Amino acid sequence: MFSMTNMTITIDILILMRTRYFVALLTLGALVVSSCGSSSSSGGDPNAKTPAEAYITPGPYSVGITTLTLERGPEVEVWYPAAEKSDATDTYDIRDFTPEAIRGLLTGDAPATFTVDAARDAKGADKKFPVVLFSHGASGVRVQSSFLTAHLASWGIVVIAPDHWSRDLPRALVGQTVGTSADTPADLFDALELVSATDSLKNMLDTNNIAIVGHSAGGGTALLASSDDRVDGYVSMASGDLRSADTASEMPNKPSFFIAGSLDQIVTVADRTRPAFEKAPSPSLLWVIDEVGHNGFDDFCTFGNGTGIIGVAEASGLGPLLAGNPSLRRLGEDGCIPPAADVQKAFPIIRHAVTAWLRNLFGIDKEPLGLLPETEGLSDAYELKVSTIESK
């Protein structure tokens, strides 16, 4: 699936004398040989200073976004490359993902919305694109990592994200979850089937190129789902081998990328992420970003004036209720409050790393661009340090 980038070289021959024509042909041949022998990739932002910054900025496509519903109830969000350029934006309010009784209590003025550059229900580009199935974490929602999912669409990837009723925020808050983690791969593939049957989207899907991206518990789903022959590889964010005893097995024999934060106390690098990387078959990549916690990989820390969903609740006078649920506070704050850095410093790193890895997996980029330890400028490219970069 790793294919050579097609290249077209055009030379206008202005002088038709035989000797100069011969020289022109020799020059053409040299250019072709040189291009074919190059180890550089044609992808990424042409204005990036180093390969480590190739996918920090949005890609060439404007982004469309739409919401579908599975027949059994869960909603599915889809981000995709749009046919036309647009300056539209799309905003979600995390309070809309809470049960009605709780929503009515969240009356404080703390920020609770997240906005991406995307046009709701825009026409999709007339082309086939690889597919990412995104799995959210515990007490998460399908749109929780829009900072990343919309970005992937701008670089030519269709992203499909269902709600997992076995662990999503509205059901977890009231103890009414449905099913178990073993059911979550079916959520992903049912969502894929739904989009494949949707007239406005089905012709955009290159179902020969599919990857899973999961955050936290979604990383466990990524391992489960990657046993499916349709899946080419997976990205595990702030996660590891979280499969339960009844679902655990050998690590999938697929390419993998484990990316985590050094401050994560929910799923620690030492106990979960590194052991999963070490068990995973080659090829596999491990990145650890300093000053980043568990919620550095979702949008939630941008809520509540930088204190996350907890800040939204406290602004509405619900602090005493949180005092009785310390585990919820711990999950909601990890990565949002000091010593964690502002997540806006982490987002560019995550956008670049995940986009670059997926584009290489799908064969869009011939070489991994700005990912490996020897990458030029990697140590100075970001505001935060990537303290661990290991590949095998």
Helix (H) or strand (E) holding 258: strand 256-261
Q: What is the pLDDT of residue 157?
A: 98
Using the predicted structure, report yes or no on whether residue 11 has a pLDDT greater than 50.
no
How buried is 320 (Cβ within 10 angstroms: 0-12 exposed, 13-18 middle, 19+ buried)?
exposed
Which range (35-44, 315-324, 333-342, 374-383) has the least confidence?
35-44
Q: What is the pLDDT of residue 42?
A: 57
Instruction: Give the CA distances from residue 270 to residues 202, 263, 277, in Å, rounded to whole numbers and listed in that order.
Output: 41, 11, 11
Q: What is the pLDDT of residue 246?
A: 57
Ordered by start, the domain boundaries in the chain are: 1-38, 51-391
Using the predicted structure, report yes or no on whether residue 307 has a pLDDT greater than 50.
yes
Q: Percent of the chain having pLDDT more than 70?
A: 88
Radius of gyration of the chain (CA): 22
Coil, strand or helix at 302: helix
Per residue in 239-292, pLDDT tens? 999 876 655 568 999 999 999 999 999 999 999 999 999 999 999 999 999 999
Q: What is the pLDDT of residue 159?
A: 99
Using the predicted structure, report yes or no on whether residue 16 has a pLDDT greater than 80.
no
Using the predicted structure, report yes or no on whether residue 31 has a pLDDT greater than 80.
no
Residue type, 346: A
Q: What is the pLDDT of residue 327?
A: 87
Q: What is the pLDDT of residue 245?
A: 61
Q: Percent of the chain having pLDDT more than 90?
A: 81
Which of the pair, 238 or 247, is modelled with greater confidence? Answer: 238
d(CA 323, CA 295) in angstroms, rounded, equals 20
Residues contacting 80, CB < 8 A, separation 6+: 63, 64, 65, 66, 124, 125, 129, 153, 158, 159, 201, 204
Domain 51-391 has CATH 3.40.50.1820: yes
Question: End-to-end CA distance of the chain, in Å?
Answer: 19
Using the predicted structure, report yes or no on whether residue 20 has a pLDDT greater than 60.
no
For residues 185-194, b (16+ Cβ closer than 10 Å) or e, as one string?
bebbbbbbeb
Using the predicted structure, report yes or no on whether residue 59 has a pLDDT greater than 90.
yes
Using the predicted structure, report yes or no on whether residue 23 has a pLDDT greater than 60.
no
Q: What is the pLDDT of residue 2?
A: 33
Coil, strand or helix at 207: strand
Q: What is the pLDDT of residue 6?
A: 34
Closest to 283 in 3D by CA, of 351, 388, 368? 368
